[in-house]
Amino acid sequence: MSVMERLDQDMKQAMKDKAALKLSVIRMVKAALKNEEINQGRLLSDDEVLTILTRELKQRRESLHEFEKAGRVDLASKAREEMDVLAAYLPAQLGEAEVREIVREAIAATNATSKKEMGKVMGAIMPKVKGRADGSLVQKIVSEELPS
């Protein structure tokens, strides 16, 4: 079952269950996906859907950070709940050790010798971890693993 089909089914179930937050999040995601389809002029692939879901999750993560900084506990808890709903549609996230191993393999494959070649390494890694690891975590690990 594709992610789009799963979103449709879950939206119907959320309506039946009167789960307002879940329904709201699913509707926002479906709107973002539909807008992207209109912009592209075609149906989205599963990879493109994952990219949009990841982008939505990242927006919630950034909002959560700002809400916590401002002391808005109510909005922070809502953002956490929205993140939980979105995370259900993404593949299982890689742990730091798994990402570190992928980074080491990419450094060896690209023969990178310094931080100047970080872009080359990131370009090799990101397609492998798409939707399964946060880009900032990958970037942090790459900068730690590459010599200065």
Does 123 have pLDDT greater than 90? no
Does 34 have pLDDT greater than 90? yes
What is the predicted pLDDT for the residue at 10? 94
What is the predicted pLDDT for the residue at 129? 84
Cβ–Cβ < 8 Å for 142, 122: yes
What is the predicted pLDDT for the residue at 42? 92
Does 119 have pLDDT greater than 80? yes
For the segment 96-120, the average pLDDT, to the nearest whole number, is 86
Q: What is the DSSP string of 40-93?
A: HTSPPPHHHHHHHHHHHHHHHHHHHHHHHHHT-HHHHHHHHHHHHHHHTTSPPP
What is the predicted pLDDT for the residue at 128? 84
For the segment 120-143, the average pLDDT, to the nearest whole number, is 85
